[in-house]
Amino acid sequence: MKYVTEYRDAALVAATMREIRRAVTRPWVIMEMCGGQTHAIVRHGIDQLLPPEIELVHGPGCPVCVTPLELIDKALDIAARPNVIFTSYGDMLRVPGTGRDLFSVRAAGGDVRVVYSPLDAVKIAQANPDKEVVFFAIGFETTAPANAMSVVQARALGLTNYSVLVSHVCVPPAMHAILGSPLNRVQGFLAAGHVCAVMGYWEYPPLAAQYGVPIAVTGFEPLDIAQGILSTVRQLEAGTHEVANAYARAVTFAGNVPAQRVIEQVFEVRDRQWRGIGLIPASGWGLRAEYAAFDAERRWDVGEIRTQESPLCIAGLILQGLKKPHDCPAFGAQCTPETPLGATMVSSEGACAAYHKYGRHLDIYQLGITN
């Protein structure tokens, strides 16, 4: 477990927290971009170990959470059709569309299957030539190479019964949108380590310079996150705005160049809707024209579906770092993992799911902690 257990060392984390306390002299707001980091922060209580001057807010780095409602409804429409095998990562099955989710479609007789790789979906298409197999291709830059490769492989195999419903979004444009908002509170970022493992961090220095914000590329273990916070705080206190790599064991400046090439081969940059946030220009990918035959939206003619979010759900404000999950009146009441109003409550990277799972909505009496 080299490179894992040492980053869970409580003594090293405590020492880093002492360094943070020595470094900080004024209030700062730092956003972690990745939902995986959010869950690690809440699970380990990292935000509660920090000095009161530092506030961590949660960003839109959960691809399931930002998949627009209309695209989920398109997925539900396709999955419910006869002769379709609809494949997806498990996170998506509980995400509510308008009135139902993919579990409901499966319960009603739809052939909805969980896969662990898009290449598994390609194998299903090979094994079922009389069925249409659709893969829900969601994710940030992290999952894009495998999703792109599934299309390349399907074409090489001559499969005409495989298509992908694409919902790919990119991190840097979302950071631009957050920093450019008149409501922005974010003064520094913890960048998503797994995204940077694929894409590198060459896109971030211009962003840091434009907005005058420090960025630390950060991993997912407690020490990773503590070191990323320390790096960001030191820069904030010094008035500098560089991009620091606090995850050098997994991330290089250039990233995984072959992975970037397969993304560029299959996808092109598109404007994308983000659930709860709205349209962010040039913030996602769609299939290039030469791969249009694998586009599930075109194949199933679901382009005109329109939806409306629940007025009770404030996930968009949470994803922009403007609110916390427990600021939502519906949190833990109308909105629970069993009855979610939005994806942030059921995704394994959702901020609301983290707060609910680790009891941030419970007071000491509910927890049974009394004197």
Each residue of 118-168: pLDDT tens digit? 999 999 999 999 999 999 999 999 999 999 999 999 999 999 999 999 999
Query: pTM for the whole thing?
Result: 0.91
Each residue of 198-214: pLDDT tens digit? 999 999 999 999 999 99
Confidence of residue 178 (pLDDT cuts 50, 70, 90): very high
Length of the chain: 371
Residues 6 or more apart whose CB falls under 8 angstroms from that of 196 comprise: 217, 247, 251, 255
Contact by Cβ (8 Å): 146, 100: no
User: What percent of the chain has a predicted confidence (pLDDT) above 70?
Assistant: 95
Contact by Cβ (8 Å): 359, 340: no
CA distance linking residue 261 with residue 254, whole number of Å: 12
